[in-house]
């Protein structure tokens, strides 16, 4: 089993993977890092756990879109302003969910 050290938001994590899967694991870490950078660029930095949660929600939203076939319809890729708007909507929804959990 291979060991890979990845960096996400300035933190190093050592992760085990099957031999030969190191580049794939590094690419996945880069995807998460890209989302975190996007979140930070719109002022969404408020702790490591929160950044990772928002990045996870963005990835889950993209996966949902892919699974539902929305991306398969030859829709042009969203531009930066569309991505930022989507990120704001996802972050606002996450805030609503967190507030509901706090109130419960």
Contact indicator for 55, 32 with CB cutoff of 8 Å: yes
pTM: 0.62
The span from the CA of 58 to the CA of 101, in Å, is: 20
Q: Give how far the C-alpha of residue 53 lies from the chain's centroid of Cα atoms, to the nearest Å.
A: 8
Task: Provide the pLDDT for residue 50.
Answer: 87
Give the tokens for residue 5: 């050290």
User: pLDDT by residue (tens digit) across 17-60?
Assistant: 999 999 999 999 999 999 898 888 887 567 888 888 888 888 89
The span from the CA of 104 to the CA of 98, in Å, is: 10
Number of residues written out for the chain: 104
The span from the CA of 54 to the CA of 32, in Å, is: 10
Domain residue spans of the chain: 2-103
Buried b (16+ CB within 10 A) or exposed e, 22-35: eeebeeebeebbeb
The span from the CA of 92 to the CA of 87, in Å, is: 8
């Amino acid at each position: 089993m291979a060991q890979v050290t990845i960096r996400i938001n300035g933190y190093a994590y050592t992760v085990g993977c099957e031999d030969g899967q190191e580049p794939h694991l590094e690419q996945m870490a880069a995807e998460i890092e890209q989302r975190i950078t996007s979140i930070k660029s719109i002022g969404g930095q408020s702790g490591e756990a929160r950044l990772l949660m928002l990045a996870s929600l963005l990835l889950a939203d993209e996966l949902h879109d892919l699974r539902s076939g929305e991306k398969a319809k030859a829709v042009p890729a969203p531009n930066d302003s569309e991505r930022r708007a989507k990120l704001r909507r996802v972050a606002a929804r996450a805030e609503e969910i967190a507030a509901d959990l706090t109130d419960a």
